[in-house]
């Protein structure tokens, strides 16, 4: 595989480190809301709730949003 092919393949991949990726003192909902509020500056609670639910459904994670992350 040449450098261009490798670069193209890498642009289609993504990963997330699991250790340290969540704040254990926060609930699942708070962990999902954190980047929405801090990075995307979303203030609407309904939108945050809907986006959080969408993400959980997309990855097949069925847990109450009020449960702690770990």
- 18-60 confidence digits (pLDDT tens): 556 678 888 888 888 998 999 889 999 999 999 988 888 888 8
Amino acid 43: pLDDT:
94
User: Which residue is associated with the tokens 């609670």?
Assistant: 45
Amino acid 41: pLDDT:
93
User: For residues 23 and 58, what is the distance between their CA atoms, to the nearest angstrom?
Assistant: 21
Amino acid 16: pLDDT:
60
Query: What SS3 state is found at 27?
Result: strand
């Amino acid at each position: 595989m040449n450098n261009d092919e490798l670069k193209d393949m890498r642009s289609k991949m993504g990963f997330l480190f699991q250790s340290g990726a969540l704040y254990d003192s926060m609930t699942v909902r708070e962990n999902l809301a954190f980047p929405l509020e801090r990075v995307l500056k979303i203030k609407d609670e309904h939108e945050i709730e809907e986006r959080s639910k969408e993400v959980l459904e997309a990855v097949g994670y069925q847990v109450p949003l009020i449960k702690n992350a770990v």
